[in-house]
């Protein structure tokens, strides 16, 4: 779906999420959301915050699982995705802290093995993700599933691609400060979501969006696996869609 700009696209996505949350409330059920970081979802979160403040949308029945976190990374570090989510969404809404799940980047490599399998198990125990919000990296990563990621991959530690680290360099004040590793939900974890919406804005994403939507499915471009999902929508602005 191509919107004139990222504001109108983001508002439409936020409203879809809000309707899902409300539908779940009507049946006294949890709404299990997979959430993303990066600049792409920020306006979606702003609209969700507005709906909470001005229209009384409650997040009391919402369980969230974030896609990824840098490794190693302390939660109170301002570059952590934990910090990002608090700032851009969680501290502004009425979600219960115990309902927030973000991969833990503050552990040893050995500990992360167990934590990753527990993350998968927790998603399963909640009945799987009702909705997964995605951005896309220029390597065609979703979460941090870099080129080479298998479609059966689950939550695990990964090595970040050079391009991904260089794209993150400005927020870390230099490439040398960008972690070399991350913890990410796997491709299979994402694809098991019942509904997926991927956001991409701007000319910078036009090439990767073209490859993802029109290219052949390949582990070299993990976002192409989304072509196999039965209920995925790419929400784009005119610039991101310009090569389609
Ligand atoms: C990071 C995140 C991804 C995100 C990507 C794009 O690599 N791990 O989940 O999709 O950045 O970021 P942006 O939305 O800022 O372009």
Quote the pLDDT of residue 133: 99
CA of 26 to the centre of ligand 1 (A): 33
By most ligand atoms within 8 Å of CB, the mutation choice from 35, 41, 134, 135 for ligand 1 is 135
Please give the distance, rounded to the nearest whole angstrom, from the Cα atom of residue 31 to the centre of ligand 1.
23
Mean pLDDT computed over every residue of the chain: 98
- The beta strand positions in the chain, using DSSP E, are 2-3, 31-35, 62-66, 68-71, 100-101, 131-134, 156-159, 181-184, 196-200, 232-237
pLDDT at 219: 98
pLDDT of 39 reads: 96
> For the CA atoms of 168, 129, 158, 226, what is the dihedral angle to 10 degrees?
-80
pLDDT, one tens digit per residue, over 81-93 is 999 999 999 999 9
Q: How far is the CA of 204 from the centre of ligand 1 (A)?
A: 12
Task: Tell me, in angstroms, the distance from the centre of ligand 1 to residue 142's CA.
Answer: 8
CA–CA dist 173, 214 (Å, integer): 35
Residue 172, token pair as written in the block = 């870390």
Those residues with Cβ within 8 angstroms of residue 114's Cβ, 6 or more apart along the chain or in another chain: none
- Report, as an integer, the average pLDDT of 3-28: 98
- pLDDT tens-digit map of 158-192: 999 999 999 999 999 999 999 999 999 999 999 99
pLDDT for position 99: 98
Contact 239, 3 (CB under 8 A): no
Q: Which residues are catalytic?
A: 146
Give CA 88 to chain center in angstroms. 13
Task: Tell me the three state secondary structure of residue 102.
Answer: coil
Which residue's CA is minimally distant from atom 3 of ligand 1?
Answer: 143
Cα–Cα distance measured from residue 242 to residue 244, given in angstroms and rounded to the nearest whole number: 6
Fold of 2-237: Rossmann fold (3.40.50)
Can you tell me whether residue 176 is helix, strand or coil? helix
Do residues 161 and 195 make contact, with C-beta atoms less than 8 angstroms apart? no
Atom of ligand 1 nearest to the CA of 199: 14
Pocket of ligand 1 (CB under 6 A): 36-40, 67-68, 135-137, 143-144, 164
Residue whose CA is at the smallest distance from ligand 1 atom 12: 38
Pocket test for ligand 1, best of 41, 81, 85, 141 (most atoms within 8 A of CB): 141
Q: How confident is the model at residue 71 (pLDDT cuts 50, 70, 90)?
A: very high
Q: Which residue has the tokens 């989510």?
A: 85
> Domain segments of the chain: what residues?
2-237
- Write down the pLDDT at residue 152: 98
pLDDT value at position 205?
A: 97
Summarize the confidence of residues 116-140 as an average pLDDT: 98
Total-model pTM: 0.98
What are the pLDDT digits (tens) for 215-243? 999 999 999 999 999 999 999 999 999 99
The backbone torsions φ and ψ at residue 34, rounded to the nearest 5 degrees and listed phi first, read -95, 125
CA pair distance 101, 177, nearest whole angstrom: 25
Encoded tokens for 151:
């479609």
What is the Cα–Cα distance from 9 to 197, expressed in whole angstroms?
11
Q: Which residues contact 204 (CB under 8 A, 6 or more apart)?
A: 138
């Amino acid at each position: 779906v191509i919107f004139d700009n990222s504001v109108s696209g983001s508002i439409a996505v936020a409203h879809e999420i809000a309707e899902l949350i409300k539908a779940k409330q009507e049946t006294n059920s949890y709404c299990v959301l997979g959430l993303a970081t990066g600049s792409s979802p920020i306006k979606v979160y702003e609209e969700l915050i507005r709906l909470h403040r001005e229209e009384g949308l409650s997040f009391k029945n919402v369980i969230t699982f974030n896609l990824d976190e840098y490794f190693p990374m302390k939660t109170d570090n301002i570059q952590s995705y934990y910090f990002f989510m608090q700032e851009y969404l969680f501290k502004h809404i009425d979600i219960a802290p115990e309902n927030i799940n973000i991969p833990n980047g503050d552990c040893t490599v050995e500990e992360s093995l167990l934590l990753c399998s527990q993350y998968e198990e927790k998603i399963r125990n909640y009945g799987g993700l009702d909705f997964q919000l995605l951005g896309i990296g220029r390597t065609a990563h979703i979460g941090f599933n870099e080129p080479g990621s298998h479609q059966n991959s689950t939550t695990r530690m990964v090595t970040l691609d050079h391009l991904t680290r260089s794209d993150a360099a400005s927020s870390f004040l230099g490439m040398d400060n960008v972690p070399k590793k991350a913890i990410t939900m796997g491709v299979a974890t994402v694809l098991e979501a019942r509904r997926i919406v991927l956001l991409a804005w701007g000319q910078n994403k036009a090439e990767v969006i073209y490859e993802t939507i029109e290219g052949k499915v390949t582990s070299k471009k993990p976002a192409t696996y989304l072509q196999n999902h039965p209920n995925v929508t790419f929400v784009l602005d005119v610039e991101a869609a310009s090569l389609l």
